[in-house]
Amino acid sequence: MNSKPPAPVYSEYNNFAFHPYNVMLVLLLMAITALFLGTAAAFIYTRVTNGEEAVKIPWLFAFNTIILLGSSYAMKLAKKAYLNDQTKTYQSCLMATIGLTFLFLGLQLAAWSQLFGNNVFLASSNAASYLYMLSGLHFAHVLAGLPFLGLFLWKSKKQMIDPVTVLIYFSDPEKRLRLRLLSIYWHYLDALWIFLVLFLFANQLI
């Protein structure tokens, strides 16, 4: 007589649709997407209506894409290390993600400095205003994610002291869920930046 396999145990932490944290993230990403798409559409409309020339984008915008891709990849490795219970790799990848993120923010400040050096200021034109608005909004959303990365790193160093505490840390379903959501948010910011860079460079051709 064949026995039926046991039914999968329901876990709210593995159910992406219904856990409140998942719903909050989906709503947040939808709001951010609407904000950036609306701003980008207003940018195009204003430029075409007023016949303004495009602002030349500093090369650091494109270079920063590589830095952010590296940060996103390090975050992916951190999540993989967490799932494989690799303490040192997990912590190292989190530190790499934070370090690359700080580098991205620093280079973004340098890119704006290049624009200032070319006499492109916030009040120079509508095109310049939208350029600073779009890149500034992305900067703010990256900055907002840093405390959560720092919290994960701090807790891992504080809570993972011996084999028992390491086992408890890696087996915590809520911590696993939060790391997954933070990873999704980080990859989303990466994709959003690629969209912004392509959009801003494409605007130079109009």
Residue 136 belongs to a domain with what CATH number? 1.20.120.80
Q: How many domains does the chain have?
A: 1
> Under the phi-then-psi rule, with left for phi > 0, alpha for psi from -120 to 50, and beta for the rest, what region is 19?
beta
Whether 8 maps to a domain, the answer reads no
| Domain presence at residue 50 | yes
Can you tell me the distance from the alpha carbon of 29 to that of 153, in angstroms, rounded to the nearest whole number? 24
45 lies in some domain:
yes
Question: Within 13 Å of residue 154, how many CA atoms lie on the same side as its CB?
Answer: 6
Task: Give the integer Cα–Cα distance in Å for 58 and 63.
Answer: 9
Domain contains 68 = yes
Q: Is 14 inside a domain boundary?
A: no
Q: Which domain holds residue 30?
A: 20-203
Q: Is residue 7 part of a domain?
A: no
Count of CB atoms situated within 10 Å of the CB of 104: 24
pLDDT tens digits, residue range 180-201? 999 999 999 999 999 999 999 9
Rg, the chain, Cα only: 21
Centre a 10 Å sphere on the Cβ of residue 147 and count the other Cβ atoms it contains: 10
pTM of the model: 0.87
Cα 3 from chain centroid (whole Å) = 46
Flag whether pLDDT at 2 surpasses 60.
no
Looking at the predicted structure, is the pLDDT value of residue 147 above 90? yes
Q: Is 181 helix (H, G, I), strand (E, B) or coil?
A: helix
| Residue 149 lies inside a defined structural domain of this protein | yes
